[in-house]
Structure 1
C-alpha cells in the first residue's frame, strides 16, 4: 500500500511539475486540494504529500487557509537563484573535470543524444527534464554530496523560473552549450568547463522575461489530463 501511495505522490508531483515546464501552469495558478483529489482519484493525504514536496522544491507556495498556488518568482529571487547556481556549478564542473571517468563521459554523451532527440520531437517536458538531469549528472561526478544537494534545490527553482518566464520556443538549455561543456570535461579542461558553464547559465538567465500572467483555464486542462471517472 505504501508503494502505491508513493507512486500516486510522484504522479501528482510530475503532472504539476511538467505542467509548469510545458507552460500550461502559469505563476499564481491555484491548486485546490478537492479538485486534485478528484482528478487523480486519491485522498487528501496523498495530495498534501505531493504539494509539500513541490513546496520544498520551490515549485508551489502553500498559503495558510488559502491552499496551494504555483510560485511566482520575483526578479530579485531570479537574480539570487541564478547567482547562487553559477557559483555552485562552477565549483562542481571543475571537480567533475578532475574526477569523471571515460565511462562517465560516454554516459553523458548518451544523455546528450537523448536530449537532442527530445528537442527534435518537440517534447518540451522530456527536453526540459533531460537538460536539468545533464547538469545534475555532472554534479554527481564531482563527488561532493553537499554541493549536489544545494544544486538539486537550485535546479528545481530554476526549472520553475525558466518554465514560466522564458519566451516560448526557446530551449531550457542550449544543446550546443551542453556539448561544449562536455567537450571540456573530456579534455580534463576544468577552467574551460567552468567558463562554458558560467556563460551557459548567464545566457539562460538573460532569456528570462517576467511578463507572463496566470491563466484562467480549468485545472484539468492545465494539467493536460482527464478527470478520473
Structure 2
C-alpha cells in the first residue's frame, strides 16, 4: 500500500480551504481520497519519494500536503521515521464528535441569520457532487465531500475562529468514518445535507440545530454505537 496527502496549511486570518487549481491543491483530495479508501492505511509503508512517483507530483508539493495532513491529525510525521496514517482510538473519536456538536450547533444557527443565494447554490452544488460520488461508489470522495459540506456551511456563519476550529475536527472524523467500513451506497448523508440547506435557506435556526444534532447522532451511532446499522459520511 502507498500514499497520502493535503495542501499547505495557510497561516492567515482566513479559513484555509482546498481549492483545486495548483498542483498542491489538486494533490490534497487525491491523496486524502486514497487514505479514505484505505488504499493507504496505517500499515502502509510510504515515503515522500513513493508519493511523488505515485501522484506525479514534486517533492515540495508532497511535503506540503503531508504537513497539512499532519496538522489535521490524518498523518503522523516524526523525525527519522517514515510518515504513517493515523489510527484514532475510540476516546479521541468520542471527544472529536463532542467538540463538533458544540461547534456546529452554534455555526449552523449563525449561518441561518443571513444566508446568501450564492452560498446556498454552492452548498447544493457540493451536495450534488457528493451524491454522484455515492452513486459511483467512490467512497473516499463521498466521505471527503461530505466533510467539505460541513466546512462550507461553517464558512457561511461568518465566525472565522469557530469555523477554523471545526476545520481541525472534520478531517479526523472523515478518517474514522473510512475505518468504520460502512457501505458507501447505504449512506444517507447527502439527503440530510439537502434537508439542512433548505432549513438554513428559510432561516429556521431552531430546526437547523435539530437537524445538525440528528445528523451527528447518526454519525456517533456509526462510529461509537454497538452496531453499524446507521450510515455516516459526515
TM-score by length of 2: 0.76
1:192 aligns with 2:207: yes
How far did 1:129 drift?
2.9
| Number of aligned residues | 205
- Superposed CA RMSD in Å reads 2.5
How far did 1:62 drift?
1.0
1:67 aligns with 2:82: yes
Gapped runs of 5+ residues in structure 2? 1-20, 226-234
Cα 1:57–1:102 change in 2 (3 A) is: same
How far did 1:133 drift?
2.1
SS, match of residue 63 in structure 1 = coil
TM-score by length of 1: 0.78
Gapped runs of 5+ residues in structure 1? 1-5, 211-229
After superposition, where does 1:39-118 map in structure 2 within 5 Å?
39-40=54-55, 44-118=59-133
Once the two structures are overlaid, the 10-residue window that deviates more, 60-69 or 35-44, is: 35-44
Measured in 2, the distance between the counterparts of 1:187 and 1:154 equals 27
Any idea what the Cα deviations from partners look like across 1:148-189, whole Å, max 9, x if unmatched? 111111111111111222423366661221122122212211
1:17 aligns with 2:32: yes
Residues 27, 164 of structure 1: 8 Å contact kept: no
Larger relative helix fraction: 1
RCO higher in structure (CA 8 A, sep ≥6): 1
1:153 aligns with 2:168: yes
Of 117, 137, 140, which residue of structure 2 is paired with 1:125? 140
